[in-house]
Amino acid sequence: MIKGNAGELKKKVIPVEENLFTMPSMTEGETRLIGSKCNFCGAVFFPKRAICGKCYRDGMEEVTLSRTGKVTTWTVIRMKSQGYKGEMPYVMGEVELPEGVVVRTQFRGIDPDNPAIKIGDSVEVMLEKIYEDNEGNDVVCYQFKPV
Ligand SMILES: [Zn+2]
């Protein structure tokens, strides 16, 4: 364990799952979702996969996806699902990226009680702390916010 100046244990920022998105350092770099592109038919998938879901061939290349996309559907979630550790209520939906891939996501920066969001809005990917693990580390996941 690394000790900080204040003598407190230094927190780590860890991804909720490996290989979903790039982890920039806190001061530089940008978060991007990691997908895969088929070398045969060009179809793009997120999360990344080993075999193409369109032509079923084995020849996928890892690609980082565009940071912005358009909202294709959204809803407000008021019922806590089992295992969910984040804030309630929240806004959830889908975003289509220019690569043609649709990403299911939680939205940030939108008030669930007065949601100013509509289909076709531009949104941008970001990282957000979703909970603290047992060691006090910040567990982060991708979310999208209005541009
Ligand atoms: Zn394919």
- Phi and psi (nearest 5°) for 141? -140, 160
Domain count, the chain: 1
Residue pLDDT, tens place only, 42-82: 999 999 999 999 999 999 999 999 999 999 999 999 999 89
Residue written as token pair 């909202």? 71
- The residue assigned the tokens 């920039």 is 24
- 141, part of any domain: yes
Residue 36 CA to ligand 1 centre (angstroms): 10
Q: 74 lies in a domain?
A: yes
Which domain does 117 fall in, by range? 13-146
CA 45 – ligand 1 centroid, Å? 10
Lookup: tokens for 114: 């007065």
Mean predicted confidence (pLDDT) in 115-137: 94
Return the ∠ at Cα 143 (arms to 16 and 104), rounded to 5°: 90
> What's the 39 CA to ligand 1 centre distance in angstroms?
7
Whether 131 maps to a domain, the answer reads yes
Please, which residues have CB less than 5 A from ligand 1, an ion? 38, 40-41, 43, 52, 54-55
